[in-house]
Amino acid sequence: MASSITVAKIINAETAKSQFVLNPRNRPVTEESKKLIDSLLLERKSIAAICRVSGISQMWIQTYESRKIQHRTSTSFS
């Protein structure tokens, strides 16, 4: 039993190492960036153009836009 606990601790420690890197690719999106994205979406700019301007991934912008639409429709019909 003692060896399984040790193995679990080692696995957790190795997993934790990957959470802290010197130059992370993924970083939180600032409120300023969200405001820029919102204004560009209102102007009906393409997602590709918004990605180029903001430096944020297409996947994140599509998810963000989708959540905003879901929130808007769920609150308007409630």
Annotated domain spans of the chain:
29-78
Alpha helix locations (H) across 2-78? 2-17, 31-42, 47-54, 58-76
Higher-confidence residue of 47 and 76: namely 47
Q: Which tops the pLDDT comparison, 41 or 13?
A: 41
Q: How confident is the model at residue 73 (pLDDT cuts 50, 70, 90)?
A: confident
- Residue 71: per-residue pLDDT: 86
Greatest Cα-to-Cα distance within the chain, rounded to the nearest angstrom: 61
**24-67 per-position pLDDT tens digit:** 777 889 999 999 999 999 999 999 999 999 999 999 999 999 99
Query: Would residue 23 be called left, alpha or beta, if left means φ above 0 and alpha means ψ between -120 and 50 degrees?
Result: beta
CATH of domain 29-78: 1.10.10
pLDDT higher than 70, residue 78: no
